[in-house]
Amino acid sequence: MTSRDPELRSLLFYATPVFGFFFAWWTLYRKNGSRHQNAVSRLSVTLALIWLLGYVSLGTAVSTTEVGTVPLLVISSVWTTTYFLTCFGLMVRLYLGRPVWLPGISDLSDRLP
d(CA 41, CA 22): 10
Full-model pTM: 0.86
Max Cα–Cα distance, the chain, nearest Å: 57
d(CA 44, CA 105): 10
Give me the tens of pLDDT residue by residue for the chain, a chain 113 residues long.
Answer: 455 677 888 899 999 999 999 999 999 899 888 888 989 999 999 999 999 999 999 989 988 887 778 888 899 999 999 999 999 999 999 999 898 888 888 888 887 76
Tally the C-alpha atoms within 13 A of residue 10's C-alpha that lie toward its C-beta. Answer: 18
